[in-house]
Structure 1
């Protein structure tokens, strides 16, 4: 079969109630729900309202990474493409077929994402993905349309199809064989940055990820963890270190790590002043757990000779420096 839209659910009945109708209406691919042991009545709602939808029941909640691994490995090679879609996303007409047609025509491309705009402020890009994701040379992620705290208005300025460093997990297209061959997501991540890590590993195999902005979706965001939750801060900082550690050589990681300690100490101070001590402490805890658990997160069987980021003209050494010192706060202004 061609493609499966796979939505991971954990106690998200209200999100499914609100957003699933648009997915059913505007999608050509099969829709499958992977449930992470929900206890809020999600399953009863699905069985009553959408009896035609296939449901895969996970034995426990292992987050985004482990939850999707459990579900997608059950599907195996039944589908040519997996489309991972957050439960808090509204889709538009032909959103999936547009990207699938592109992938059919470009066998060298492993996966892609649509243009992701904000569900709340619909003329603006979404924080988590915008029009394609990138990494600076220190491993900090940013997007075409969103750099750090600045989210741009969508004026069709980023509507060209280009190669990207990473595709957002909010709307993540990938060839099923690639996902299976790469072993899926690293489950230790639990949630956040596992898709960036997977994209990095895939690109080291010589395959590409692209953004196809002719496909548009609208993401609410914060459906599982809001920005106000210190646990989200913890996961983002810890997983970013995990990602760097497992995808770079020891020497390269050490050099990056020393710079990151300084920059993230500044981030902790900023969090203390703007968000309170809980977020600042979360960054310290992230470093502590990384140092304790880094050996559990296995390195690749091989490592590329250089950081495998996007084409050279897209590389930025430090998006922090670019944003705060050079005052370049939009993607086209880098």
Structure 2
């Protein structure tokens, strides 16, 4: 995704508002003293259909013989896990901008008509895997100019997040709240969404592209997250799941360059969180497929995703998007599909 494209997007958002985020996998994370829900964690794990889970993970590997996929070792998820039992198909964007994704381009009824057509295409490409619709909303938007606190990020108002929840409810969809931290941090931004993340159907996403650790304004270069940042977010979700007796949270991290995620082998996995590395780059099919191989297949974490762009993917020859049938040839199969 080019920095110029995002520069234009961020400018539009600013104008609208008028304003000058060793595979050392941890199957049993450290427990917090005095949490009564932790007495049932082993029971929840035991309740998961482990045989079905293993079969699903093997299916996702799609015949990979390198030993990279499926990822081992990894913990079995708690009861109520969505992955790998369903494929998530999401519409992405922000309600304030038509340029940030399809979510802001159409009224809800038309939006759902389009999303249902994509769901049908995926059901046809992989009839054995049910589709879970999703709305993926950018709840914290990186900015080209500094805010009063110097963070270069704008938090969306709660009434807009509530509108997204209402749109999702129209189609029995789950919701992802996406964070672009700018010069802020996940430690500052994620807890502010706690009341929403406590909802069973609301999940988290973070975008390294706009995590500017060296103070560079967003849009000038590609940002980065380290395993430490990712583990902070996972630990936050783990505690929410335990304290509120929730089903596992899905946690999406976008990626299309090597430096966007550092020290991937140190990313911890938990029964309470299902982690997806989402191939976020745009361009012609060969470029996108190579990006998936280089940065998603080659550095395995747990689950994989793939973003498709209705506009940007058409810019380069042969001026078309990849199809579900083509993506089903990938090793591993992406289990999270995002349309922008």
Q: Is TM-score (shorter-chain normalized) higher than 0.5?
A: no
TM-score by length of 2: 0.25
Higher relative contact order (CA 8 A, sep 6+): 2
